[in-house]
Structure 1
């Protein structure tokens, strides 16, 4: 998508990743509605942007994503202020696990679903909308397994965001509604979500993985928005070029299903365990190499 002249809403954009995303969009010629539950922070950021990019290209609306009325007011208020339809909606508001698993789940996945469902209906071409783009802020935590009981809710929520993105981000839905759905999966970034996990934990993460700046993550965000397809999940990792992480689960399940059938027929295996699976992978690898050698012998 060419963001020049487009109108974007970013939840949780008073600081951190959301603020960095807003800067990139504004620099590329978009108009941005800043939104945050912290009114003072949101207004301060909006004033900063207005001085740099102009009052006509930035606006602030307070929003608590846990409240449906706030979401509606944000979307409709943005369109009323700018006098045009929203083109990009960024589901960015989020917290970590520190304030409890229920609140973490409510904000990091339930509110994301609430916003996504509402925005798709507003953008739906069949309902008078003009189509558009939804970008969900997920995380590498939405791809990998969690570390401990305390942080389990955060990993579960972010897995949900990735699955939601892939489920809604189909070519069929895009064709029907005109709405693309994507997500960004950054590794550890120097934001408040990481800052309040405790000094010791923060230091351990910084030492083991390194921290990305919000600006670094925002560069990947722009690649997602401008170059990627619906349903894409882009991974942002320190000192690594951004890459798309495709979902191969269906193909992998089919592959294991074939292996399970073959092992039952050949060896009477009733439960296809990881040990059996490794043996199957090895057999397939050897067979593939034999076939490749056989075919190339005729060509060369």
Structure 2
């Protein structure tokens, strides 16, 4: 999509990734409606953007994505202010697991679904809309497995965002509604989400509040350093470069992965093909060896057999050419 002259809404864009996404869109000639539950932060960011890009290209509307009325007011208020239809809706608002699993799930997947369903209906060409693009902020956590019980809700929610994107991001839905759905899956980025995790990770049964605050302030940089050493820590601006590649170059249903010092890449869903492959292996092993349960050990043996067979076949075919 060419974003020049397009109108975008970004939830959770007062700071962090959402703010970085907004900057990239504005630099490319789009108009952006900033949205955040923190009104002071959102207005500060909007003022900053207005001074750089002009008052006519940026606007702020407070929104709590947990409230359907706020979502409706955001969308309709944006269109009323700019006097035109929304072209891009970025489902970016999110939190980590620190404030509890239920709130994490409510914001990181339930609100994303609420927004996606509402926005598709508004953009639907069959209902008078003009089509458009929905970009969901997922995470590498939406692809890999979580590391502990406390973080499980975050990984579950982000997996949900990736699956939601792929389920809605089909060529059939695009043809019917004119709406593309994509998601971005960044690894660790230097945002408040990481700082919140640091606060939880290093907090303990300390009775003195002042002492606890000093303890946390001293330890959070240690967490960042450890994350950066093991995984690489990206700036929001670095992630935003991948976001623009997703918006301008990728297809509906695409999930783009952003990893430190690695070119952005599309992570395709091969689950159906993989299940079919394993199903074939299970049937062959039962017929040949009487295997009733196709375990990972059997699967590895099957992979090895297929690999050897493929190499033999390749060697046989190339022998006729050389």
| TM-score normalised over the length of structure 2 | 0.92
> What is the Cα deviation at residue 204 of structure 1?
2.8
> What is the Cα deviation at residue 200 of structure 1?
9.0
For residues 46-70 of structure 1, the C-alpha deviation after alignment (integer angstroms, 9 at most, x for no partner) is: 0000000000000000000000000
Asked if structure 1 preserves the Cα contact closer than 8 Å seen for 2:120 and 2:177, the reply is yes
Asked if structure 1 preserves the Cα contact closer than 8 Å seen for 2:3 and 2:25, the reply is yes
Alignment partner, residue 70 of structure 1 = 70
Alignment partner, residue 118 of structure 1 = 118
The worse-fitting range, judged by mean Cα deviation, of 191-200 and 120-129 is: 191-200
Taking the aligned partners of 1:59 and 1:19, their CA distance within structure 2 comes to: 13
Taking the aligned partners of 1:156 and 1:44, their CA distance within structure 2 comes to: 33
Q: How many residues align?
A: 299
> What is the Cα deviation at residue 152 of structure 1?
0.3
Taking the aligned partners of 2:41 and 2:24, their CA distance within structure 1 comes to: 19
> What is the Cα deviation at residue 273 of structure 1?
0.2
> What is the Cα deviation at residue 198 of structure 1?
1.6
* Structure 1 stretches of at least 4 aligned residues deviating more than 2 Å after TM superposition: none
| TM-score normalised over the length of structure 1 | 0.99
Alignment partner, residue 185 of structure 2 = 185
Secondary structure at 1:71's aligned position in 2? helix
Report the CA distance shift for 1:199/1:76 in structure 2 as closer, same or farther (over 3 A): closer
For residues 28-79 of structure 1, the C-alpha deviation after alignment (integer angstroms, 9 at most, x for no partner) is: 0000000000000000000000000000000000000000000000000000
> What is the Cα deviation at residue 207 of structure 1?
2.6
Secondary structure at 1:112's aligned position in 2? helix
* Unmatched tracts of structure 2, length 5 or more: 202-224
Secondary structure at 1:190's aligned position in 2? coil
* Unmatched tracts of structure 1, length 5 or more: none
> What is the Cα deviation at residue 218 of structure 1?
0.1
1:49 has 2:49 as partner: yes
> What is the Cα deviation at residue 208 of structure 1?
1.3
Secondary structure at 1:182's aligned position in 2? strand
Secondary structure at 2:61's aligned position in 1? strand
Report the CA distance shift for 1:210/1:199 in structure 2 as closer, same or farther (over 3 A): farther
Secondary structure at 1:298's aligned position in 2? coil
> What is the Cα deviation at residue 205 of structure 1?
1.8
Alignment partner, residue 269 of structure 2 = 247
Secondary structure at 2:197's aligned position in 1? coil
Secondary structure at 1:175's aligned position in 2? helix
> What is the Cα deviation at residue 209 of structure 1?
1.1
Secondary structure at 1:86's aligned position in 2? coil
Structure 1 vs Structure 2 CA RMSD: 0.8
> What is the Cα deviation at residue 199 of structure 1?
5.7
For residues 153-208 of structure 1, the C-alpha deviation after alignment (integer angstroms, 9 at most, x for no partner) is: 0000000000000000000000000000000000000001111112695x432331
